[in-house]
Amino acid sequence: MIRVQTEDFDIGAEVKALTSGRTDIGALVTFTGLVRDTNGGTVSSMELEHYPGMTEKELVRIEAEANERWPLQASLIIHRVGKLAPGDNIVLVVTASPHRQAAFDAAAFLMDYLKTQAPFWKREETGDKSYWVDARESDGEAAAKWDT
């Protein structure tokens, strides 16, 4: 399941909804990304933009690929857009599998691909400056390890 939204999410409620009534899940991995207050300067806010329609399509593709690679019983990607403040939730990735390694690997894969393949753009504000955040070489290297 994927969602792109401006509203915040409740991690506990999302996990409960995903696992409710499920006794076949042996491992659950969650990752939550938060807005930091520093990134080469003091960040006062971050604005996330996306390409509606294209973004959701890419998230569905990435999630489907994770489900092909690992035995997942459930997965969830929630990504926020709009203006966020330091400490706000940005992204939630949840993977559920019979075994922990598959859940860990799938969650890492989803985050690596979200950082490099999903059409999101970040602009940070630091007091009187505003700038677009460039892709990091380390994110590309992390995603490349999944190319097989």
pLDDT of residue 40: 66
Q: Is 22 exposed, middle or buried (0-12, 13-18, 19+ CB in 10 A)?
A: exposed
Domain boundaries, the chain: 2-17+25-129
**Whole-angstrom distance, CA of residue 78 vs CA of residue 94:** 9
pLDDT at 147: 85
pLDDT at residue number 106: 98
Give pLDDT, residue 72: 97
| Average pLDDT per 10 consecutive residues for the chain, totaling 148 residues | 97 97 96 88 89 94 96 97 96 97 97 91 86 78 79
Transcribe 17-71 into DSSP letters. Answer: HHHTT--S--EEEEEEEE--SBSSSB--EEEEEE-TTHHHHHHHHHHHHHHHHS-
State the pTM of this model. 0.92
* CATH dotted code for 2-17+25-129: 3.90.1170.40
Phi-psi region of 85 (alpha: psi -120 to 50; beta: other; left: phi over 0): beta
